[in-house]
Amino acid sequence: MHACSFAASPILLTFRRALPAVALALAAQATLAADYPTRPVEIMVPWAVGGGSDAVARAFADAATRHVGQSFVIVNRPGASGSIGHKEGASARPDGYKLTLVTPEISLAYLQGIGKTQWQDFSYVARINADPIALVVKSDSPWTTLEQFLDHARAHPGKATISNSGVGATYHLAAIAVENKTGLSFNNIPYIGAGPAVVGLLGGQVDATFATTGEVGVHVKGGKLRMLAVMADKRLKDFDQVPTFRERHIDVLLGTWRALAAPKATPPDIMATLKRLVDKVNQDSGYRDFFARQYLGLVNEDGDKFRLALEHEHAFYTDIVSRLPLGK
């Protein structure tokens, strides 16, 4: 009988040598996650300074900085209906140091071929805001009711100018939805974000705008703007004199939201840390007071639950985009 000896294969030796390196890498990753964050964190905002998304992000960043001891810094990347900022955020290194304030345009822009980034390209920490859309005019305009403004649009087809936050964005979709329900035709004027769109209205460049209370609430309360109707299922607590579109027999329910997200491959430990941070921020009195003062809807919906809502919303927008003339 002969003794048999087996030499380890080159592949097996390579695997054995790789094990310590893999273990070290995993250990290092765990250490980084445990210490996170150890340096400033960027929050990518796909919209211009001055809009509701910018306000939500800055309020969160200020509160997070107070609770963590590291700076949370806002980076605005407006353009292409949010797709520029969404793309940069989704393609960032998944280490928790570049987050994104995702908005509904993550689906709308993709469905219209404006951008290639999809809602599935992110891991969601939480939805932190949600607001219905309202139609607003200047307080010194001749229109004091929704019916008066729509009568004006009916008498001047394609002439009534309405600003929005960008072609194919949620506020543009709101105008088209009203056109579709009423048979009217507006002159929809795109801006680079809701903030500039509201500035255009304040400056008399347009007749009206579609925006949320987060962009126009202070101006309405201050007497500069007049809210004609809101796309909600019931009247808003802070604007209870303003009717809903449904009350005026225009069946449109539309709003916007903002969610904090990270690149898809972000480690679970970092995502868990971020979720705990959102919980802390949501209890911060300064943060809550800011939302109340700016008429922003305060939400804290866990990212996993919100992801299911996103899937349903994407299907809804797929149907809407296929039926509405979003190229206008």
- Predicted confidence at residue 1, as pLDDT, reads 45
Tell me which architecture the domain covering 39-130+256-323 has in CATH: 3-Layer(aba) Sandwich (3.40)
Looking at the chain, the domain(s) classified CATH 3.40.190.150 span: 39-130+256-323
Please check the confidence at residue 13 and state whether its pLDDT lies above 80. no
Span 147-173, average pLDDT? 96
Alpha helices (H) along the chain: 10-35, 52-68, 83-90, 105-111, 146-155, 170-182, 194-202, 213-221, 268-282, 285-293, 303-323
Looking at the chain, the domain(s) classified CATH 3.40.190.10 span: 132-230
Span 176-181, average pLDDT? 93
- Predicted confidence at residue 73, as pLDDT, reads 98
CATH tag, 132-230: 3.40.190.10
Tens of pLDDT, residues 74-117: 999 999 999 999 999 999 999 999 999 999 999 999 999 998 99
Span 265-287, average pLDDT? 98
Whole-prediction pTM: 0.85
State the Cα angle at 51 between 186 and 131, rounded to 5°: 75
Mean model confidence pLDDT for the chain: 91
| Percentage of the chain lying above the pLDDT 90 cut | 84
Distance CA 202, CA 24 (A): 58
Beta bridge partners of 163: 189, 209
- Predicted confidence at residue 205, as pLDDT, reads 98
Please check the confidence at residue 180 and state whether its pLDDT lies above 60. yes
Distance CA 210, CA 216 (A): 9
Instruction: Kindly state the tokens that stand for 193.
Output: 């974000």
SS (HEC) of 30-94: HHHHHHCCCCCEEEEECCCCCCHHHHHHHHHHHHHHHHHCCCEEEEECCCHHHHHHHHHHHCCCC
- Predicted confidence at residue 131, as pLDDT, reads 96
Q: Which range (151-155, 158-162, 204-208, 324-328) has the least confidence?
A: 324-328
Q: Which range (14-28, 45-59, 72-86, 92-106) has the least confidence?
A: 14-28
Please check the confidence at residue 316 and state whether its pLDDT lies above 70. yes
| Percentage of the chain lying above the pLDDT 70 cut | 88
Distance CA 310, CA 296 (A): 20
